[in-house]
Amino acid sequence: MTIEVSNISKRFGNYVALDRVSLEVKSGELLALLGPSGSGKTTLLRIMAGLEYPDSGGLRLFGNDALDRSPRDREVGFVFQHYSLFRHMTVADNVAFGLDVRPRAVRLSKREIRSRVMQLLEMVQLSWVADRYPSQLSGGQRQRVALARALAIEPKVLLLDEPFGALDAKVRKELRRWLRRLHDEMHITSVFVTHDQEEALELADRVVVMSQGRIEQIGTPTEVYDHPATSFVYDFLGNVNRFEVDVHDGVARLPGTTQPFARTHLRGDGAAVAFVRPHDVELARPNGHDVPNTGKVLGIHAVGPSARVEVDLNGIAIEAVMDRERLRDLNLAVGDRCVINLPQISVFGQQEAAE
């Protein structure tokens, strides 16, 4: 294991930023810490770098206790959210900084540093701005300089705090793909923080979903998307339909109805929450028999390759997504009655145990 976080807690005054968090980062992987703001993801990243100190818990880097080591001895590269480039230094001096401040005994010669800096700037495709100042660069260029600066000290771990947060959408996508390629070439263990679920799911090998200082789920992008462990993960990842249901004897019903709505393995009776993804909602034309879960079409939005159909089921609006051919076959129109099947429904009780 490259990074082992065990039972780390951190408070700021009365605010609990991290509550007994444990996590292992595998060697060479690209891991995403995903969560809304205030979930503690940045605090966890800063603790790994040594910029914050936990109240309790342990941290090991490559098997060695890291908490008693200062950030300058941890051999981590850190890319800050707002880049934090040294404003009074040129791009080349920024990248060279980590090599320049080494003790004389292990410092490279001026020429070696210069050639290494140019090599790094070429890697991030910015050798032509070596003598400019950070204020003369665009956001995306600054981000790449920050990355080159972090990589200059040949860190064993690369930590990135919201690396694409301050960039516009187009640049963000480009940089995302570029970072993934870079990671695949260098195989450096990397952890990045993001609040953008699309970014985490597309870029990372594994995703850690956090909320209110705790880890909700750890898994590959497919795992966390297809099998969310908690209602929070369901809600946070992707588009989802959410309904309040009553559970009785393993059967969930919509409040105020007697018809069974879904089956569940949830033990105990009482109020629960049900989730279903729009593309898991199946619609069919009524075949004459009286089937449960018959609803009414409220609206149809067919733009692009897929169509979005809003249906009403006992006063609850449900969103269904299907490809446009399927919609044509169904031949639905606003106001039509239709059968709603929910084979992929997940029900979570108050105690958040999965179905």
Partner 1 sequence: MPAETIAPSAGRPALREPLWLRLSLIGGALTFLAIFLLLPLILVFVQALGHGIEAYWDALVEQDAVSAIQLTVLVAAIAVPLNLVFGVAASWCIAKFEFRGKSLLITLIDLPFSVSPVISGMVYVLLFGLNGWLGPWLIDHNIKIIFALPGLVLATIFVTFPFVARELIPLMQEQGTDEEEAAVVLGASGWQVFRRVTLPNIKWGLLYGVLLCNARAMGEFGAVSVVSGHIRGMTNTMPLHVEILYNEYNFVAAFAVASLLALLALVTLVVKSLLEWRYGDELAASARH
Which of 12/128 has CB closer to partner 1? Answer: 12
Interacting residues with partner 1 between 22 and 61 (CB under 8 A) = 49-51
Q: Which long-range contacts (CB under 8 A, 24 or more apart) does 196-202 make?
A: 196/164, 196/165, 197/34, 197/236, 197/237, 197/238, 199/32, 199/164, 199/172, 200/32, 200/34, 201/225, 201/237, 202/176
Burial 218-256 (b: 16+ CB within 10 A, else e): bbebeebbeebbbbbbbebbbebbebebbbeeebbbbee
Which of 153/316 has CB closer to partner 1? Answer: 153
Interacting residues with partner 1 between 77 and 136 (CB under 8 A) = 77-78, 80, 82, 84-88, 97-98, 101-102
Q: Is 166 in the site for partner 1 (CB under 8 A)?
A: no
Q: Is 76 in the site for partner 1 (CB under 8 A)?
A: yes
Candidate ranges 32-40, 148-156, 300-308, 337-345; the one touching partner 1 (CB under 8 A): 148-156
The dihedral region occupied by 257, where left means phi > 0, alpha psi between -120 and 50, and beta the remainder, is: beta
Size of the site for partner 1 (CB under 8 A): 26
Q: Is 163 in the site for partner 1 (CB under 8 A)?
A: no
Among 26, 72, 267, 337, binds partner 1 (CB under 8 A): 72
The residue among 158, 200, 166 whose CA lies nearest residue 82 is 166
Which of 88/181 has CB closer to partner 1? Answer: 88
Which of 5/49 has CB closer to partner 1? Answer: 49
Largest CA distance in the chain: 86
Q: Give the residues lining the site for partner 1 (CB under 8 A).
A: 49-51, 70-74, 76-78, 80, 82, 84-88, 97-98, 101-102, 149-150, 152-153
